Amino acid sequence: MEQPKWTFGVTPLPEVVDLAHELRELTNVVLALEIAPDELRALTEQVRTAREQLARAIPPDLAPRIGPELHPDQRAYMDHSRDVGDFNPCFPLYSLTCADDRADGEVEFPLSYERPPGIVHGGFLAVFFDLVLQQLNCDLGVAGKTTTLALRFRRPTPLLRRLRVTAHRTIDGDRIHSVGELLDGDELLCTAEMSAVAGRVENLPTVSPRRAS
């Protein structure tokens, strides 16, 4: 019988998803600027003002509101089991379909993830594979904490190009073993191997729902 998807935390606010997209795209635009137009300086001041105003609405304690001893001053914990880039612009966006212990998807890395000229920073590839391989686990209903993650860089990974990702996993006792590949057409760019604990979703701590106001 198919396992239900593994989730842990509240869903992101739609407004946060919209903002994450715009912030990522804005960052990609300003990184390509060669001069600082007046609009950039005005925008920086607007963002600074908005940040100061929005900070008044966040909880005083930024620790996540999970576990047996919940405190009302803490923040709601966002579900990080899949599509983290949708609500956090620090993480890459990708598409992924998971079934039968396999995953297939696509990703395109924008300028935000550059280190060598025109090339994706290797650290972001590690983040990307951690997201993909754990989403495969979560979508198939058995997941847990990452214990090891090893990458092998075969070719430089280009920016601004639609790339293909594939992954598969096996479960051996209380361990999940996953392997992923990133490809540019038929050319293998990077591989990743991950081990994770095969946890039980019912053993996760309590997650407090988002407050209505």
Give the CATH number for residue 173.
3.10.129.10
Please name the residue that has the structure tokens 């105003």.
53
Q: What gap in Å lies between CA 89 and CA 112, rounded to an integer?
A: 9
DSSP class of residue 37? -
Please check whether residue 209 lies inside any domain of the structure.
Answer: no
Which residues in the chain land under pLDDT 50?
none
Structural domains of the chain, count: 1
Predicted confidence at residue 213, as pLDDT, reads: 63
Per the structure block, which two tokens stand in for 6?
Answer: 């593994």
Does residue 210 belong to any structural domain of this protein? no
Task: Collect all residues with Cβ–Cβ distance below 8 Å to 18 and sequence separation of at least 6.
Answer: none
Q: Per the domain annotation, does 161 fall within a domain?
A: yes
**Looking at the domain assignment, is residue 119 inside a domain?**
yes
Q: Which domain holds residue 92?
A: 14-203
Name the residue among 195, 192, 133 with its Cα closest to residue 157. 192
End-to-end, the C-alpha distance of the chain in Å comes to 39
Measure CA 64 to chain center.
Answer: 18
In this prediction, residue 202 carries a pLDDT of 81
